């Protein structure tokens, strides 16, 4: 996993969501940003930090857009 330099706020938010889940609460964490800002690395951190929880993952692909009939 890549190093998470200067990502204390993001890691704290992830850790808070995971702590809530461990306490029986439900919440959602949304990671947004442009290409190359570290979303995948933060997701990898999340999965590693949730090793005691069940984690479901999905993969997305960019849509090619709608075609006119």
Please tell me the predicted confidence (pLDDT) of residue 11. 94
62 occurs within a structural domain:
no
Q: What is the pLDDT of residue 50?
A: 94
Cβ(1)–Cβ(44) below 8 Å: yes
| Within a domain: 44 | yes
Instruction: Render pLDDT for 7-36 as a digit per residue (tens, 0 to 9).
Output: 999 999 999 999 999 999 988 888 888 999
Q: What is the pLDDT of residues 45-65, one digit of tens each?
A: 999 999 999 988 887 777 777
Full residue range of the structural domain in which residue 43 is found: 8-49
Number of folded domains that form the chain: 1
User: Which residues neighbour 46 within 8 Å (Cβ) at sequence distance 6 or greater?
Assistant: 14, 18, 29
């Amino acid at each position: 996993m890549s190093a998470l330099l200067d990502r204390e706020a993001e890691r704290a938010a992830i850790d808070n969501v995971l702590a809530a889940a461990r306490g029986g609460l439900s919440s959602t964490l949304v990671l947004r940003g442009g290409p190359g800002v570290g979303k995948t690395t933060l997701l990898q951190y999340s999965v590693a930090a949730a090793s005691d929880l069940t984690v479901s993952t999905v993969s997305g692909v960019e849509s090619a857009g709608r075609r006119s009939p």
